[in-house]
Amino acid sequence: MPRRVALKWLAAAAAGMALAGRVDLAAAQVPTQSGKPIGTDPVLNKDYQPGELWPLLMTPAQRRAAAALADLIIPPEEGGRKPSQLAVHEFIDEWISSPYDQTAKDRPVVLAGLDFLDSEARKRHQVVFADLNAGQQAGIADALCGVTPTAPEYRPQVKFFDRFRHLTAGGYYTTPQGMKELGYVGNRPTPTFDGPTPEALKHLGLA
């Protein structure tokens, strides 16, 4: 692990411990990745699954917390599947586990943050985050999401929440279900490109 990542993580972990007081020191070891980068000539036209190119580094407990938080951040529409059912948390695991510094810099932040969720849940309700009911989960998320001012010592957890939200949205809205929800209707062949609809032109005052 690059030194600057290690230092960042230590800072995050230290802050987490100060808050909850129950962060397990064993979990404070940020795992390292020995897998290889994609390389300059990967096969392009196939479906890749998280874990296929490099091992995933979240513990089962962290994976459960990640699934629960992703589902809280992006609740399903009527009849839609949850982010966890679309493997969005596995994408986040792939992201933080990768051998690339540009995504692996999120590894200490996200892992410490997931540990924090469980320790905070235990502190408040004596069970892990994934086993809380929706209201209890929201109680923790509300403290971290930045809508209301947060105590300065929560700063690493607020940063975690922001990064995790970014990754959850990025993972979710790039799935076919997420694209449809966002209102993206392309990526299908059409014999002609017809330009904007009359409704779109009217919306812009161009009709």
What's the min distance (Å) between Cβ of 49 and other proteins? 9
Burial class (CB in 10 A: 0-12, 13-18, 19+), 187: exposed
203 lies in the binding site for other proteins (CB under 8 A): yes
Residue 80 has what DSSP assignment?
P
Integer Cα distance of 121 and 131 in angstroms = 9
CB atoms within 10 A of CB 28: 17
Going by C-alpha positions, the residue among 3, 27, 23 that lies closest to residue 15 is 23
SS3 label, residue 7: helix
- Give least dist CB 172 to other proteins, A: 9
Distance, CA of 194 to CA of 104 (rounded, Å): 42
Min dist. Cβ of residue 161 to other proteins (A): 8
Hey, how many other C-beta atoms are within 10 angstroms of the C-beta on 190? 7
Give me the 44-63 binding string for other proteins, x by CB under 8 A, dash otherwise: xxxxx---xx----------
**Minimum separation from the CB atom of position 170 to other proteins (A):** 3
By C-beta, is 13 or 106 nearer to other proteins? 106
Query: Is 75 in contact with 141 (CB distance < 8 Å)?
Result: no
- Tell me whether residue 22 or residue 159 sits nearer to other proteins (CB atom): 159
CA proximity to 62, closest of 29, 34, 99: 29
Type of residue at 47: D
In the complex with other proteins, the residue whose CB is nearer, 23 or 161, is: 161
User: Which residues in 178-197 contact other proteins (CB under 8 A)?
Assistant: 178-179, 181-197
Restricted to residues 110-139, the positions that interact with other proteins (CB under 8 A) are: 138
Q: Which candidate, 175, 187, 184, places its Cα nearest to that of 82?
A: 175
**Binding residues for other proteins restricted to 75-94, rule: CB under 8 A:** 75, 91, 94
Tell me the closest approach of the beta carbon of residue 8 to other proteins, in angstroms: 20
Q: Shortest distance, CB of residue 50 to other proteins, whole angstroms?
A: 8
Residue 10 is a binding residue for other proteins (CB under 8 A): no
Residues that bind other proteins (CB under 8 A): 37-42, 44-48, 52-53, 72-75, 91, 94-95, 98, 100, 102-103, 138, 141, 145-147, 162, 165-167, 169-171, 173-176, 178-179, 181-197, 199-201, 203-204, 206
